[in-house]
Amino acid sequence: MTRSPPHHAGRIILGAQEEAAKHDLLLLMLNTGGDPELERKEIELLLQRQVTI
């Protein structure tokens, strides 16, 4: 289940995405909810796909 951010947070995220796009960048956000195991898994998946951070 995906949680929608509060309205003001959504606008901030959209603004960040638009600004990134102006510089040919992609904004990628992950939320682990403070779970270190989930964080490890997400980082591993990014590295497997050769995403540079």
In angstroms, the Cα distances linking 27 to 11, 13, 17, 37 are: 14, 9, 6, 23
- What confidence category does residue 53 fall into, taking pLDDT thresholds of 50, 70 and 90? low
Distance CA 42, CA 49 (A): 11
Residue 12 in this model has a pLDDT that exceeds 60:
yes
Q: Which one is predicted more confidently, 8 or 46?
A: 46
Closest by CA position to 51, among listed 31, 34, 26, 32: 26
Q: What is the mean pLDDT of the chain?
A: 89
Q: What is the pLDDT of residue 9?
A: 85
Q: What is the pLDDT of residue 25?
A: 93
Q: What is the pLDDT of residue 6?
A: 65
Average pLDDT over every residue of 35-46? 96
